[in-house]
């Protein structure tokens, strides 16, 4: 009979914020929030506003620890992630100046195959990979200096690319229809 009373009590307490406070789990989480705010260059006040339910003392402790660590290691702050863009309201959509300003803010739509090919041709990283494939996986020789041999990871990547090209080449050679 008593076990039937204990089970609802445990279920009630499992979802309660009190359990995390007693167990100390929220302290570490709040310290992590403070450390993240410091690393991203946010002020304590902004961090407190973004996390109103968190313990301010723990946020400050995490912020201070990260500050000391960053000063000691001579680390710069990273750019904080951008805030989510508010959805466009119908009234704002009819204004030409509002829609013109939001054109640059829109996320890029999925590219058509032709647009993707054009973007690929202008991408220096894609050009470097294609150049490595064309050389047969051998590193380019610098003028007067021999380039270092590719590392194990680079060799693995080049082997994978060669295998994909063989599979893609045989699929492309077969008639499509």
Indicate the number of domains in the chain. 2
159 within domain boundaries? yes
Other CB atoms within a 10 A radius of the CB of residue 38 amount to 24
104 within domain boundaries? no
31 within domain boundaries? yes
Closest CA to 61 of 23, 43, 34, 26: 34
Q: Are 55 and 61 in contact (CB under 8 A)?
A: no
Q: Are 105 and 85 in contact (CB under 8 A)?
A: yes
54 within domain boundaries? yes
83 within domain boundaries? no
60 within domain boundaries? yes
34 within domain boundaries? yes
Looking at residue 119, its pLDDT comes to 74
DSSP state of 43: -
List all residues 6 or more positions away from 92 whose beta carbon is below 8 Å from its beta carbon: 98, 99
pLDDT truncated to tens, each residue of the chain (177 aa)? 677 778 877 777 666 666 566 666 678 889 999 999 999 998 889 999 998 888 899 999 999 999 999 999 988 888 777 766 656 555 555 554 444 444 444 555 677 777 777 777 777 777 777 777 777 655 555 444 445 566 777 788 778 888 888 876 555 445 544
Q: What residues make up the domain containing 42?
A: 19-73
27 within domain boundaries? yes
């Amino acid at each position: 009979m008593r076990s039937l009373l204990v089970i609802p009590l445990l279920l009630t307490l499992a979802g309660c914020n009190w359990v995390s406070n007693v167990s100390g789990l929220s302290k570490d989480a709040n310290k992590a929030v403070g450390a993240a705010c410091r690393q991203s260059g946010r002020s304590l006040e902004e961090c407190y506003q973004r996390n109103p339910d968190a313990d301010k003392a723990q946020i400050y402790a995490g912020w201070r620890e990260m500050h000391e660590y960053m000063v000691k290691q001579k680390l710069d702050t990273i750019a904080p992630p951008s805030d989510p863009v508010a959805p466009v309201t119908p009234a704002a959509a009819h204004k030409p100046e509002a829609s013109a300003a939001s054109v640059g803010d829109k996320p890029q739509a999925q590219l058509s195959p032709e647009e993707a090919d054009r973007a690929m041709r202008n991408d220096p990283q894609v050009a470097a990979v294609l150049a490595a494939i064309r050389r047969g996986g051998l590193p380019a020789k610098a003028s007067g200096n021999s380039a270092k041999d590719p590392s194990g990871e680079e060799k693995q990547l080049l082997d994978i690319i060669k295998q994909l090209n063989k599979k893609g080449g045989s699929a492309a050679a077969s008639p499509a229809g």
